[in-house]
Amino acid sequence: MGAQQRVYRRRIKSVQATKKITKAMELIASSRIVKAQQRLDSSLPYLQHLSAAINAAATGASDVSKHPLMANPDDRQKAAVLVVTADRGLAGAYSSNSLREAEALYANLRQNGVGVSIPYVVGRKGVAYYRFRERAMGGEYTGFTDQPTYADAKRIGEDLLHAFLTPREDGGVDEIHIVYTHFVNMGTQEVRIRRVLPLEVVDEVIEKDSALPFPLYEFEPDAETVLDGLLPPYVEHAVYTALLHSAASEHAARRRAMKSATDNAEDLIRTLTRQANQARQAEITQEISEIVGGADALAAS
């Protein structure tokens, strides 16, 4: 075997080893997508009932606009933005799309008079992005992006609520947004922006039938107290839903990226195999030419 053939064979073995890794990662991501979808679907009933209870309490409350989590300030100066990225790479443009959308949100907030935007970052990719640019972060949350739990969402939600309820002169914020990747299906994931606080009570989950009467509720001790108890869990579940959507989207993006890498490895293996065969044929042709030339030289002598 010639030197050129040995180079091609080594490259083929290297690409084959890489292909095995990317194929395994593709299969792992495919299995985790199913589990992430199940966790997302199992959280929807809680969101439905919680949303219905908040709408009922808001309807029974005397003045919803005065609630600290629903009051819209006339002069907005500072906002907090929760950006959800991934802990690990090899997921295509999943994290970069969220960061790009967050930067667009910052620009839009500045145009609307919100001069300061504080990022609360989920995922090591986002944390590294802001650290490299030396931008201060309100919170860093890593180590759970592919399998988030409600405890993680509760910790983030408590930090966001604390920042929102803190007076502005003490470093509080006037509104809070979430930038996350919404999981539509296996082939489609969309980066979305959701304003969490101040809360706008809109029932996006339950479609009411106009033919059905609106249920009557009796609140004890009163609707305002019930609203105080329901709104913090609602914010935490909004964060939890965003984390679940992002986790499923991360696995889908990684599966798609690994499938593309596996397909590229197969194409490269075919190309290298063809080049190795051509090099082997060239070596055989050269050896035959040398043998024929030597035989002619012996015959002439």
Question: What pLDDT is recorded for position 204?
Answer: 40
**DSSP symbols for the chain:** --HHHHHHHHHHHHHHHHHHHHHHHHHHHHHHHHHHHHHHHHHHHHHHHHHHHHHHHHHHSS-GGGSTTT---SS--EEEEEEE--SS--STTHHHHHHHHHHHHHHHHHHTT--EEEEEEESHHHHHHHHHTT---SEEE-S-TTS--HHHHHHHHHHHHHHHHS-GGGT--SEEEEEEEEE-SSS-EEEEEEEEES------S----TTSPPPP---SS-HHHHHHHHHHHHHHHHHHHHHHHHHHHHHHHHHHHHHHHHHHHHHHHHHHHHHHHHHHHHHHHHHHHHHHHHHHHHHH-
Question: What pLDDT is recorded for position 41?
Answer: 87
Q: Which range is least confidently modeled, 10-24, 52-66, 132-146, 208-222?
A: 208-222
223 pLDDT tier (thresholds 50, 70, 90):
low
Instruction: Please give the share of the chain, as a percent, with pLDDT higher than 70.
Output: 86
The answer for residues whose C-beta is within 8 angstroms of residue 162's C-beta and 6 or more apart is: none
Question: What pLDDT is recorded for position 190?
Answer: 92
Most confident of 46-55, 73-82, 128-137: 128-137
CATH fold of the domain at 26-201+223-256: Pyruvate Kinase; Chain: A, domain 1 (3.40.1380)
126 or 235, higher pLDDT: 126
Question: What pLDDT is recorded for position 112?
Answer: 84
Whether residue 279 is predicted with pLDDT greater than 90 in this model: the reply is no
pTM of the model: 0.81
User: What mean pLDDT is predicted for residues 284-293?
Assistant: 82
205 pLDDT tier (thresholds 50, 70, 90):
very low
Question: What pLDDT is recorded for position 235?
Answer: 86
Average pLDDT, the chain: 84
Question: What pLDDT is recorded for position 265?
Answer: 93
Whether residue 60 is predicted with pLDDT greater than 80 in this model: the reply is no
Question: What pLDDT is recorded for position 261?
Answer: 93
Q: Which range is least confidently modeled, 9-18, 54-63, 273-282, 290-299?
A: 54-63
User: What mean pLDDT is predicted for residues 160-184?
Assistant: 88
The model's pLDDT over 68-119, given as tens digits with 9 standing for 90+, comes to: 666 666 677 888 999 999 999 889 899 999 999 999 999 998 888 888 888 9
Q: Which of 148, 126, 121 is nearest to 32 (CA)?
A: 148
Question: What pLDDT is recorded for position 206?
Answer: 41
Q: Which of 112, 89, 85 is nearest to 101 (CA)?
A: 85
